[in-house]
Amino acid sequence: MRHFKKIASVCCSIALGMLALTGCEDEHFSNINAPDWLSEKVDSIANAQKGDDEVLEGMMEDVYTIGNTDYSSGWWTVFSKYYVIPEGKKWNAVFNLSINPAASNTYKNFALIICNDNEREGEGYLEYGAIRYDNQPSGNSEWGDYIDRSYVQSTLTFETDTDEGISQLGGKVTLTVDRSDPESFRVTITNGTVTKTYNQPSPLVNLNADESNTNIRCFLAPEGSYINFQQTNIEPIGGLTSAEDKNPLSMTLQGVPDEVDLGVPLDSAMADVTAVVTFEEGVTKTVTAEELSFSSIPDMDTEGEKTLVAIYNKTFKGENCEQPIMASATFSVVEKIASIEVTAQPSRKNYYYYTSPATEGMTGRTLAFDPTGMEVTATSVTGTERVMDNSKLTFSTIPATVGDHTVTITAAEGVTATVSVNVSESVDSEVHNSTNMVGAEDNSTAWWTVFSDDFNVPAGETKFISFTNYTNGVNNWNNYSVVLRKADLTEYAVVRADNYGWGAGYEDNVNLQTSGGQSDWAAWLAEMNGAKVTVYVTNCGNGTADVQAVMQGAAGTTYTQYYLGINTVDLSDLNFALTMEGCHLVFNE
């Protein structure tokens, strides 16, 4: 439209000039071939306005939402449809990316996942890798065995994952995955403000078991954001979704409180409830409490368990629907709390921390409170008492300093109680692997195929192990990783040498403290080939574990890393082992 307006302005100017010329006595104007001249002028201006913008051809409507519109979708929980891209073809997609205004991490956007022609995580599924929209050379904004980060460029680069500016990634995004050139593979992601490209000067290898099938699949995975998909030039598996109005089919309630104080009106109690509504053709939308009708069965006038019934009666576009839909949930009405008291002390009151060279300069280090075994009794405004569920309480953190510390326990009503714990320094001791080397000496070891011995870490103790790390130097993750697990190999968490981790004790852990990445990953990776490493694992006695590492690079630079407060740990069953990919470890030198 902006090009049309400029062309129209030129045409008007030309027309006025021609009218002025007709009033002149000079007859030469009649010799000008006006239509050709005018056409050439307009074409020249239009071409000048095109710039390098790619013209999207063959676009089809595909309208649906990916992710919760309250920005609550976690990583690897929601996905777009599959878009299959044959060899020699190009996939163009257009969508609106909504970024959480309160997002504090640059990775809360979306990633393009590139895989072979198989169902995600099914039999035979293999990934080329992932390219996230944000660009952070010091972090993991791209990954995968077939993604070379040296081919990535972006007009916006973040130094750390807490830099400001993630809002610049939002808005209308055009994504292109280009296999049209048999000698290259290219990806472009742009919203007109931020453009990120991946230009690989070679084609993708074929990861399909059937060599005659050269297709790849692509899909989108948002985290802490959501996508309103709009257009595609390739029909996805499952078909296109029309933008025509759609009737609701079902909904799921979110944010229903477990307990409501007696005397609080139902609408006030449910003011923060939302519902994810699924419409025809699989389109979803999150609606707020204002768009729902609530009722309680039985009523709110007495204590006890209630059934919340919510009704929604709108189409996708907000018109009255043909058939309203309903969802239900349970909650309890209880008397308002006047005070709380600790009536049974927690069973774990002795906590431990360890200071290695990785944490000796750290400030503000804390430990998480462990309420195991604790009983808190609430007294209502009428004097009745009840034992509270500890999950409904919040706890202050504990300074990682030697001595007795007071923990403040807070109920939802703001009433508090306190309990004391003791913090001590952990005692360390060295462990040794039974073999001198783990992993293939040529650094060909595949992920999760070889491990060191398992080393038990009793409560309150720190175990450390030293080794030399050798890497193929291809990717940051081609180094050692530390696995925390039970004796039966049930995992708590896995943490890598390059500031990355996963597992129940790592993900969604609000108390987890990490050291962040290196300022120069390329230099770090080069020095990791032959680096002297010491890893420390501490059983903190509060259901958490700490992992610290000191890495003396091959060129003499000292690097450090820590992951503090990995939770879900059974303090009577904590073990660790080392594993690797594209790497090998040498012990007992």
Pairing relation of β-strands 491-496 and 501-502? antiparallel
237 part of a folded domain: no
Domain-ending residue, one of 232, 263, 298? 232
Condensed to tens digits (0 to 9), the pLDDT of residues 28-50 reads 333 334 445 444 444 444 444 44
Mean pLDDT of 175-186: 96
Give the closest residue to 468 by CA, choosing from 456, 476, 480, 455: 480
Name 232's bridge partners.
60, 93
Give the closest residue to 473 by CA, choosing from 546, 524, 436, 422: 524
Band (pLDDT 50/70/90 cuts) for residue 306 is very high
200 touches 35 (CB < 8 A): no
CA distance readout (Å), 90 to 85, 338, 370, 581: 7, 65, 53, 33
Q: What was the pLDDT predicted at 284? A: 83
Q: Is the pLDDT of residue 143 over 70?
A: yes
Band (pLDDT 50/70/90 cuts) for residue 519 is confident
Whether residues 109 and 188 share a domain: the answer is yes
442 part of a folded domain: yes
Q: What was the pLDDT predicted at 18? A: 37
Q: Is the pLDDT of residue 342 over 70?
A: yes
CA pair distance 181, 202, nearest whole angstrom: 9
CATH code for the domain in which residue 135 is found:
2.60.120
Whether residues 216 and 170 share a domain: the answer is yes
119 part of a folded domain: yes
Whether residues 356 and 269 share a domain: the answer is no
- Residue 384 contacts by C-beta under 8 Å, 6 or more apart in sequence? 335
Q: Is the pLDDT of residue 215 over 70?
A: yes
Q: What was the pLDDT predicted at 44? A: 45
Band (pLDDT 50/70/90 cuts) for residue 53 is low
**pLDDT, averaged across the chain:** 90
Whether residues 377 and 512 share a domain: the answer is no
Q: How many domains does the chain have?
A: 5
Band (pLDDT 50/70/90 cuts) for residue 54 is low
Condensed to tens digits (0 to 9), the pLDDT of residues 351-387 reads 999 999 999 999 999 999 999 999 999 999 999 999 9
Domain-ending residue, one of 409, 425, 441? 425
Whether residues 273 and 402 share a domain: the answer is no
Whether residues 10 and 133 share a domain: the answer is no
240 part of a folded domain: no
183 part of a folded domain: yes
6 touches 49 (CB < 8 A): yes
Residue 555 neighbours by CB distance under 10 Å: 11
Q: Which is higher by pLDDT, 413 or 213?
A: 213
Condensed to tens digits (0 to 9), the pLDDT of residues 121-134 reads 889 999 999 999 99
Whether residues 508 and 486 share a domain: the answer is yes
Lowest-pLDDT range, 205-209, 277-281, 350-354, 572-576? Answer: 277-281
**What secondary structure does DSSP assign to 353-395, as a single string?**
E---TTTTT--S-EE----TT-EEEEEETTS-EEEPPGGG-EE
Mean pLDDT of 90-112: 95
CATH code for the domain in which residue 283 is found:
2.60.40
94 touches 247 (CB < 8 A): no
Strands (E), 80-215: 83-85, 90-99, 110-115, 127-132, 142-143, 152-154, 171-178, 185-190, 195-200
Domain that holds residue 501: 427-587
Mean pLDDT of 511-527: 88
Q: Give 160's DSSP letter.
A: S
- Helices 2-22 and 34-50, packing angle to 10 deg: 150
Tokens of 522: 């390329």
Q: Is the pLDDT of residue 14 over 70?
A: no
Give the closest residue to 78 by CA, choosing from 253, 286, 292: 286
Condensed to tens digits (0 to 9), the pLDDT of residues 148-170 reads 999 999 999 999 888 999 999 99
238 part of a folded domain: no
- Residue 175 contacts by C-beta under 8 Å, 6 or more apart in sequence? 91, 92, 93, 94, 95, 112, 187, 188, 189
Band (pLDDT 50/70/90 cuts) for residue 282 is confident
226 part of a folded domain: yes
Q: What was the pLDDT predicted at 373? A: 97
Whether residues 581 and 432 share a domain: the answer is yes
295 part of a folded domain: yes
CA distance readout (Å), 340 to 384, 414, 420: 12, 10, 16
Pairing relation of β-strands 225-232 and 90-99? antiparallel
Whether residues 460 and 568 share a domain: the answer is yes
Whether residues 128 and 212 share a domain: the answer is yes
pTM here is: 0.68
Using DSSP's 3-state secondary structure scheme, residue 494 falls into: strand
Band (pLDDT 50/70/90 cuts) for residue 264 is very high
Whether residues 174 and 253 share a domain: the answer is no
Q: What was the pLDDT predicted at 317? A: 87
- The beta-carbon contacts of 72-77 under 8 Å, at least 24 apart in sequence, are 72/224, 72/254, 73/222, 73/223, 73/224, 73/225, 73/226, 74/223, 74/224, 74/507, 74/508, 75/221, 75/223, 75/507, 76/221
Whether residues 79 and 145 share a domain: the answer is yes
Residue 553 neighbours by CB distance under 10 Å: 20
Share of the chain above pLDDT 70, in %: 91
- Residue 365 contacts by C-beta under 8 Å, 6 or more apart in sequence? 353, 359, 399, 400, 513, 564
Q: What is the helix (H) or strand (E) element at residue 566, kind and residue range?
A: strand 558-566
Strands (E), 273-384: 274-279, 284-288, 293-297, 304-314, 320-334, 337-344, 350-353, 366-367, 375-380
Condensed to tens digits (0 to 9), the pLDDT of residues 71-87 reads 999 999 999 999 999 99
Q: Is the pLDDT of residue 52 over 60?
A: no
Band (pLDDT 50/70/90 cuts) for residue 482 is very high
Domain-ending residue, one of 298, 314, 334? 334
